[in-house]
Amino acid sequence: MDSSELLPVGRRVAYWRGRRKLSQQVFADRLGRSKSWVDKVERGVRSLDKVSTLRDIAAVLRIDTAVLLGRDTQPATTTARIEGVERIREALSAYDIALGRAATRPALPADRVVRDVGHAWVQFQHARYPQVTAVLPGLLAGVQRVAADDHERSRPLLVEVYRLAAALLVKLGEADLGWLAADRAMATGAGDPLLVAAATVQLGQVFRASGRARAAQSAALAGAYRIALLGPGDGGPGELSLCGALLVQAALGAARLGDDRATADLLDEAAGMAAQVGEGHDHHRTAFGPTAVDLARTAAALELGHAGEAVAWHEQTTRRDAWRWLPLEHRAAHLVDAARAYLQADDPTNAGRVLADADRMAPAEVRHRPAAREVLAQVARAPHAPATIVTLAAALGAT
């Protein structure tokens, strides 16, 4: 560890000024400040609370702002995330059922495994990603051992845990590994339209996260229309939620491809189904309903480059009471999208505000999700960025 990491920010300025062999006067001249100002900063008499000043000092000292703030090592959250992903990779690489190893190991009671998987999903929907990362390898092994005794009856549980793995891995920026989990879910559910449709929700997310928008749209549409073919009599709230969630995935794929018309048509079709389902439900872990569809309109408008429209949908939709009924994970993820929309609309102040809201609501969404950290870095670099956002970005090394 560099000794400068242990120093207050003013002392770090003095430390790096000395490393660069700059006198206080030369340093002050390059900053356009007085020597007295530099002396007060280095003694801690004057605080450094403006983003622009921190950047100017870092530029003169030829260091990153994060180094100036004492955060030039990899954040612990990043290390823990990488280690957790590796354990999940090992669990997905086991192939215990196919190789006959699962049956040779003692299995937990099936009802306990079902309960544990359900609890992990609740943790995920509360955006407690480190906790889910920690338990998921054991869940994958436990479910496979239960399935070794009765594979057919355990198929829904297997699909559930593979879906959870895929959803988590997409959050953690591991789309390729998420693809493996989603593929396992699809293969396990083969022959059961509802299980396949549920798995396809995560498959669509994985495809979009890996830049395969056309594949996402195609798979989601195929899954949705397969549910629709079950017939009107079989279209209960659960089936409508799956079909609608898949149409949303297809719409987001179309938006990524720049297809305005298809995006609007698919979201309108999903909205019709959402009206039948109503608000406040979470059939098949979709949280599908009218508010969820309108939040998707924000994400779609953002993909299409319509920042003003995205901001309008965000502001309109988050005023509803039903907004608070959605899972924390869903709301926090939306706020990250809203921050991107405000940035594109040249409104960094509101971008910082909604990102701070997301961090208060579900810290792991901002701190453990690489895509959110990129948005955080963009907001932190904007002029007049909130000090809380600058501090958080520096602490996470996202500058």
Q: What is the DSSP letter of 232?
A: G
For the chain, the domains span 3-68, 74-189, 327-399
For the stretch 256-281, pLDDT in tens is 999 999 999 999 999 999 999 999 99
Percentage of residues of the chain with pLDDT beyond 70: 89
What is the secondary structure of 45-94 as a DSSP string? SS----HHHHHHHHHHHTS-HHHHTT--S--HHHHHHHHHHHHHHHHHT-
**Residue 388, Cβ neighbours under 10 Å: how many?**
14
Which pLDDT tens digit goes with each residue over 133-181? 999 999 999 998 888 777 778 899 999 999 999 999 999 999 999 999 9
User: In the CATH scheme, what is the homologous superfamily, with its name and number, of domain 3-68?
Assistant: lambda repressor-like DNA-binding domains (1.10.260.40)
* CB distance 247 to 266 below 8 Å: yes
In order, the DSSP letters of 111-141 are HHHHHHHHHHHHHHHTT-HHHHHHHHHHHHH
Residue carrying structure tokens 């929700």:
201
pLDDT digits (tens, 9 = 90+) for 322-372: 999 999 999 999 999 999 999 999 998 999 999 999 999 999 999 989 889
Let me know how long the chain is: 399
Q: Quick one: tokens of 211?
A: 């830049």
Residue 240 has pLDDT above 90, yes or no: yes
Mean pLDDT of 315-327: 97
Q: Is the pLDDT of residue 315 over 70?
A: yes
pTM score of the predicted model: 0.79
pLDDT band (50, 70, 90) for residue 234: low
